Structure 1
Amino acid sequence: MPRLAPLLTCLLGLLLLASTPAHAQETPPWGTGESRGEDLTIYLVTFGPGDDVAAWWGHGSLVVEDQRLEQSRLYNYGMFSFDERMLARYAMGRLEFWVDDASPGATFRFYRSLDRDVRLQELNLTSAQKVELGRLLAVNVLPENRHYVYHHYNDNCVTRLRDGIDKVLGGQFQQVMSSPGRMTLRDHTRRYTAVGPAMSLLLDFLMNDEIDQPVTRWQEAFLPDELERLVAEMQVVGEDGQKRPLVAKALNVYEAKGRPATPAEPPRYGPVLLLLGLALGGGAVGLALWGRRSGGRAPRILLGLQNALVGLVLGIPGFALFIMWLFTDHTVTYRNENLFLANPLTLLTLPLGIQLMRGSEKARERMRRLWLVLAGLGVLGLALKVLPMFDQDNWRLIALLLPLSVGMAGAFTLARARAQAQATSEPLTPSLKASGS
């Protein structure tokens, strides 16, 4: 999600602060003009996915090496720091990143220690292009230039590499890669987060149709693996007018042991979510029927507990999504259709569920009204799908949450019917006894 920390492609830069040498103050020779183009080698480095959420996306960097002067630097646009303002900037979608340089060898050893792939592609650039790219990187790393506002899809530690390469190629890269992409940004997000289904579902819930629109291959290169793929396929026109591969050679520095590959396609778990939604909604109805027959405490307590959990699991994200839309720069959350399915009203099921567990009849009636509203909103969100503007790819969430809402509304409607039946039958008991005597 744009500028949202759980999805940051390059949070690992924080660890690099502690594991690689501090930013060198002296300007490298390619920044002072000492380096000659024929002595420079520039590599695109791709680091494979890691274990934590931030590392699921992989990472990328550029390495500049002057073989004559025996100097090399790795440029990492994924740096950020935890400080007293970081959480506020993160919450508002205004998190700042910066570029720093470090020792390539130390960085490679660090990623190897995490059992993450380290792959290099030597860029087949002209001498002038190498000099220019080296100069750009040396200028970018200066304190007055190094910071930028992170955006997960449009401006991150990989798109900065892509844009730098394209600049020295005179725009050839973007021009060639303007063809349609393989899939939407949501599909890419879902396949990279498939390793953690719960987090994947949460991110799917939080994002609107901004990432469901068709994209180009150029836009897909917000991901390290996609940029690596495009660079490998790219043919550029040299000074002689002849086409040549952009990659002179590829080096596999380290291959992760036993780490599963990122799926080529997003997982298809819609049917599973539908079954889960039906089970949850049907379970609520089952508890209401049990309570209607037995009148015991157990079904009431279990139904209250289920509602309290729904408030925690769905109400908090629904409330957060609403706040993100109104008060933050997380544009990918704005006007999100999933607010028909879970929203701040859903959070009310938490306290009302607890009250129901404690035997409150007022809570039962309030829950009935609340779930009728929530189910109605869910049905409205589904009906609006016939309109072109309601094109968000959220069928998986509808499959999960709409049956739950309808089931809850049905459960509390049954509970109310039972209460009304008891209310009408109880006064009759004394009069019947009197007539019999």
Structure 2
Amino acid sequence: MIKALQFFFLFTMATGFSQSLPLSQDATVSVITIGPGSNLNDAFGHNAIRVKSRFSDITYDFGRYDFDAPGFYLNFARGKLNYLQGKSNYNHFIAIYRNENRTIKEQQLQLTAAEKQNLYDYLETNYKNNQGAYLYDFFYDNCATKIRDAIETTLAGNLIYNLPDHYKEQTFRQLIDANLHWNTWGSFGIDIALGSIIDRTATSREQLFLPEYVNQNFETATLKDSNQKLVINSKTIYTKKGHNENKTSSFLTSPLLVMILVGGFIIFITFKDFKNKVRSKWLDLALFITTGLIGVLLFLLWFATDHTGTAYNYNILWAFPLSLFCVLQIIKTVPKKWFIAYIKFSILMLCLLVMHWTIGVQRFAPALIPLLLALVVRYVFLLKHYKQAAV
């Protein structure tokens, strides 16, 4: 008898842990949207799902990661880092973002009791399965698209997106730019690291990779079977106060000013070299090594990682890896003929960059313009200098 009771107890416990508890009849499901923060990693906001019942109040979100995971930085660089699902007490979750002074909005969804239970079961089961580990992609599989996909799956084709009044077609890069000022290091780095693939126009559904667009599109969405609105009630839980400090917003430390100073310095040294009929080898070494190393990084991001956004990156037209092989020729007073041809090739590459930019194949960082102009000036000077040296 005792063994039978023990078995029954263990069976009951195992069943309870392997299945989600049934929600109460008055349970509600909401989508939480967090506004942008002051740092680059939270500049695009965040989304979560809130499941509130008589016995619990829980938020589920996606996009967390474990810094202590083996090979964290290497996997992050290669695009092979697993991101995790989060599960938090609602009050604790909201307190975090209130303390960060970020706007918090909530949209209660019109779901049937069965749909609420199915969504809750999915979130619970997914969390128990290795915290819902998944291969993160900024544009196609992130904290916002996970919320979108979970709601779409729950509604099983019963969801219709109606375009908001202010909707307009935009590329992925334009959508990013709406959250980052172009003259910040975050925007500058993104424009260099990400390729022409993000200059493609995003579909209305693809725009939901940004948390705020999840909020906007859910607000106008309707249910196919009843033509009723998906969102029953919308409210703002917390409104950001004042403005968060953004240290990168100062022009004195901005990419544009730095590139103006660097480009101006290159042109100044080039003018002095031209006037004195000499060549500052140290400057050419610095330029070719720097652009070559940047080119190697861009090449690896393009071909050696799983990041979808780093493919077809034509920044490689000004930062070419083969520049590293020119170091020995730069040291020489009279280089090999192939090095002269390479300089002409580099000028041609810069012309191709302008063409790509003009016709819209890829948009480059505006702050790069002073540096690109300086490179053209230096390359033309090198051609004339070597031509005179050969006479």
Between stretches 366-375 and 249-258, larger displacement belongs to: 366-375
CA drift at 1:361: 4.3
Instruction: Letter of the 1:129 partner, please give it.
Output: E
Q: How many residues align structurally? A: 370
Q: Which amino acid aligns with 1:343?
A: F
| Displacement after TM superposition at 1:340 (Å) | 1.4
Partner of 1:42: 29
Letter in 1 for 2:198: I
User: Would the alpha carbon gap of residues 348 and 187 (structure 1) be closer, same or farther in structure 2, given more than 3 Å must change?
Assistant: farther
- Which residue in 1 is equivalent to 2:313? 336
Shift, 1:276, TM fit: 9.2
> What's the counterpart of residue 361 of structure 2?
391
- Unaligned stretches of 5+ in structure 1? 1-24, 263-271, 425-437
Stretches of structure 2 that go unaligned for 5 or more consecutive residues are 1-12, 247-253
Match of 1:78 among 59, 63, 67: 63
Counterpart pick for 1:250 among 220, 234, 243: 234
- In structure 2, what is the equivalent of residue 228 of structure 1? 215
- Which residue in the other structure is 1:193 paired with? 180
- The DSSP-based 3-state class of the residue aligned with 1:187 is helix
- Aligned match for 2:87, one of 93, 97, 101: 101
Letter in 2 for 1:50: G
One-letter identity of the residue aligned with 2:344:
L
Which secondary structure state, in structure 2, belongs to the residue aligned with residue 192 of structure 1?
coil
1:171 CA drift (Å): 2.1
SS in 1 for 2:28: strand
- TM-score, structure 2 as length reference: 0.79
Give 3-state SS (helix, strand or coil) of 2:70's partner: coil
CA spacing shift, 1:118–1:346, aligned 2, 3 Å: farther
Given that 2:343 and 2:383 are in contact with CA atoms closer than 8 Å, whether structure 1 keeps it comes out as no
Q: Distance in 2 between matches of 1:27 and 1:54?
A: 40
Shift of 1:379: 2.2
Worse-superposed segment, 210-219 or 172-181: 172-181
**Residues 35 and 66, structure 1, Cα contact 8 Å, conserved in 2:** yes
281-290 vs 364-373, which moves further: 364-373
Contact 1:278-1:403 within 8 A present in 2 as well: no
Counterparts of 1:11-90 in structure 2 under 5 Å?
A: 32-36=20-24, 38-67=25-54, 70-82=55-67, 83-90=69-76
2:128 matched to which residue of 1? 142
Question: Contact conserved, 1:209 with 1:392, CA < 8 A, in 2?
Answer: yes
1:164 aligns with 2:136: no
Q: Of residues 379, 400, 405 in structure 1, which corresponds to 2:351?
A: 379
Compared CA separation, residues 175 and 107, structure 1 to 2 (3 A) = closer
Deviations 1:356-379 (A, max 9, x none): 7xxx74799998765433222222
Q: Distance in 1 between matches of 2:255 and 2:31?
A: 40
Structure 2: distance between partners of 1:255 and 1:44? 17
User: Which residue does 1:113 correspond to in 2?
Assistant: 99
Please name the residue that 2:275 is paired with. 293
CA displacement at 1:201 relative to structure 2: 1.9
Determine helix, strand or coil for the equivalent of 1:335.
coil
Name 1:318's counterpart in structure 2: 295
Q: Conserved in 1, the CA contact under 8 Å of 2:50 and 2:58?
A: yes
1:259: Cα distance to partner? 2.5
The amino acid that maps onto 2:228 is: R
Per-residue deviation, residues 30-89 of structure 1 (Å, max 9, x unmatched) = 9635224x311111111111122111111111110112xx31111121221122321221
Secondary structure, in 3 states, of the residue corresponding to 2:128? coil
1:409 equivalent in structure 2: 379
User: CA offsets, 1:379-430, max 9 Å, x none?
Assistant: 24445789x9x8233484885554233211123234446656xxx8xxxxxx
Whole-angstrom distance in 2 between the partners of 1:319 and 1:27: 54
Partner of 1:126: 112
Kindly indicate whether the alpha-carbon contact (under 8 Å) linking 1:43 and 1:120 is maintained by their aligned counterparts in 2: yes
SS at the partner of 1:221?
helix
Shift of 1:216: 1.9
The answer to whether the 8 Å contact 1:72/1:104 transfers is yes
Tell me, in whole angstroms, the C-alpha distance in 2 between the residues paired with 1:397 and 1:341: 14
* Change over 3 Å in CA distance of 1:281–1:307 after alignment to 2: farther
In structure 2, what is the equivalent of residue 20 of structure 1? none
Task: With the length of structure 1 as denominator, give the TM-score of the two structures.
Answer: 0.71
Residue 275 of structure 1: CA displacement?
11
Distance between the aligned counterparts of 1:338 and 1:291, measured in 2? 28
Shift of 1:278: 8.8
